[in-house]
Structure 1
Amino acid sequence: MSRIVYVNGKFLPEEDAKISVFDRGFLFADAVYEVSSVLNGKLIDNEGHMWRLKRSLDELEMQHPASAEEIETIQKTLIEKNGIEEGLVYLQVTRGAADRDFTYPANTKPSLVMFTQKKNLLESPQAKVGITVITSPDIRWQRRDIKTVSLLAASMAKMQAKAAGADDAWLVEDGFVTEGSSSNAYIVTQDGTVVTRHLGNEILAGITRKAALRLAEEEGIKIEERSFTVDEALAAAEAFVTSATTFVTPVVSIDGQKIGDGTPGPIAQKLRGIYMEEALKAS
């Protein structure tokens, strides 16, 4: 049976789903998105994703296609229709369709698209052994705090990592790590302090980042929200990333150099464990 997707008020088989060639998401990447994880058929941290969606839309002066409650109802319907027990729901909002012009068109109706993907989140092989990353120049635009669909630079970084035999890339600007290509980046210093870049226009305010830092604080782990250099990362006791679909995943090498002993570190493993425990309780 074909996967069911949502397009502007209709639930459709994916092969019947269509968007106008004049849609500004297609022409200008004039669109934002969110990805919510699903465990046991339930959305995880979805309230945070709805808050960030609202912020992204407001920052771009884009009309809201529906209320958070209406969007969540659609998400849950898709989960049910596609039988998703474990995976994700992707949603995208564009400014809508209009004749091509760089200025924002007046009175366009935003487009809302959603689909699901089945994915193994709990028993991720990468989480067990850790991932390897390379460093890559951060060539993205200067408003990374807005979750737009303009992901070509991130895709290029991931392809660079793949060509180097690594799993992912950490992006670097002025000598400092900003974030992963699709995740927030962390190191753990030799004294056990978790360090991650402070919020600002340079990085995305990760929903899982917020949860992970809260859990670390509750566990009595010292946290520093500040910039860190590649050299600091290479000298760290351990490293990890967070994102909506990878939760907390250890990083075991950077640019071919082992971090710590080259195996998942205890703090990353602990945070992953308690995050998953909390997520499963909520589901």
Structure 2
Amino acid sequence: MKRFADLSREEIETKRRLLTPTTTQKATTSAAKVFWDYLAEKGKPVSFEQYEKKELDAALSSFYIEARTKTGEIYKKKTSLDAVRYGINRHLKSSPQNKDFDILTDPSFASSNEMFKVAVREIKAQGKAAIIHHPPLSDIDRNKLYNSIYLSQATPTGLYNKVQFDTRYYFCRRGAENMHTMTKDTFEVKLDANTGRQYLYKKDELTKNNRDDSEGYSGFMPATGTHDCPVSTFLKYIEKLHPESERLWCYPRDSFHDEDTTWYTCKPVGKHGLQQFLPKLSKQCGLSQIYTNDSCNKCYCPPPS
């Protein structure tokens, strides 16, 4: 009996591909397809994987400046064109191409990288890269949310939704791209010396000295003394989180009892799940429109002095 396995090249490559997340593989294939479609429309050989560096650089130079969406429109954001560019690079490096060069950094692609910068400037010049203004959550829809079963404090899912909505409403200015990094220690409860009421604040806010906050957090969450007090529900949520997990946003258990000390699993909610928070709630609660997470917060709440 042989001691070591005898794998074919195909089997080895299959195992290598399994290391790459499915979403990344799809994004890579999608980016390559955009370039294939472009070359086909221009009457050029579509197998850009076989191009020499000089030929590929020239093709990419024209592609970046002429790239359009499926509807023939210029890309609305730099990140969209970025995704295509990075995807093409991954495609070239992956099996079976296995290219040993990088179209983002190799000096041989100086011309195409310069044209990419030109394309980005064109996007901005046409106003397509401007900040998208999201409609604020209306008072009617906000009340509808709070009165729905989906924000009920009596269930793990409802409590999770209630606390996350309150957190976004009081603290997050830009949809909170980094909510997935929050832990149980991200926020702390303090006592307002003037009113004697509790309030919640983000710990590192006091160390920022009013400088620009790249994470997009601001304000504080005051206790209201009502049945739906955001501070009280936050504290209840913290108590119900799994003791073996430090992450703040975790999935609810499949089943529970009111008296259970733990309502949540150790599995944290990922970026995608957090990004779909308010859009998903908008559909579930039948709101007047599908809101984005950026619609949660439209004002700055200064902390107590």
Computing the radius of gyration from Cα coordinates, the structure with the larger value is 2
Structure with bigger RCO (C-alpha 8 Å, 6+ apart): 1
| Higher helix content, 1 or 2 | 2
**Per the shorter chain, which TM-score range?**
under 0.3
| Higher strand content, 1 or 2 | 1
Task: Name the TM-score, length of structure 1 as normaliser.
Answer: 0.26
Task: Name the TM-score, length of structure 2 as normaliser.
Answer: 0.25
